[in-house]
Amino acid sequence: MRNPFARLALRWFVCSLGLWIAAGLLGGSISYGERTSVIVIAGLILALVNIVIKPIVIIFALPALLLTLGLFMIIINGLMVYLASIFYDPLHITNFWAAVFAGIVIGLVNYLVTTILETDRKEHAK
């Protein structure tokens, strides 16, 4: 997918879906006032945070990433979710570990969506 707007839209969708699933799984740890608009806007903010801030954090965290063989990315993903909740007040995350769990869920959703799209692209290429 070479279109940057399509990539942003896909990231936005994945972040929103992952936040919604994580909020459902965690119950009261992630609250959004039961409004879909909060999840959609928070997903956009999280996608923008992942595009702008996350690469900078990864560069600074490179030693920790190398020492943990990449497992520190789980903490970085949680930090990005927590930052998005700080930037957007209607999304309330009670603690950092809830944000880490949400980051794991969003990562799994991203993996599933990417796998489905790659499989679909390969089938259409035949």
Cβ-based neighbours of 97, under 8 Å, separated by 6 or more: 78
In terms of Cα–Cα distance, which of 57, 53, 44 is closest to 11?
A: 44
So what's the pLDDT on residue 3?
85
H/E run at residue 25: helix 4-26
Q: Supply the pTM of this predicted model.
A: 0.88
Residues in the chain where the model's pLDDT stays below 70: 1, 126
So what's the pLDDT on residue 121?
73
So what's the pLDDT on residue 12?
93
Q: Which two tokens stand for residue 67?
A: 């020492």
Q: Give yes or no for a contact between 103 and 78, defined as CB atoms under 8 angstroms apart.
A: yes
Q: Is 105 helix (H, G, I), strand (E, B) or coil?
A: helix
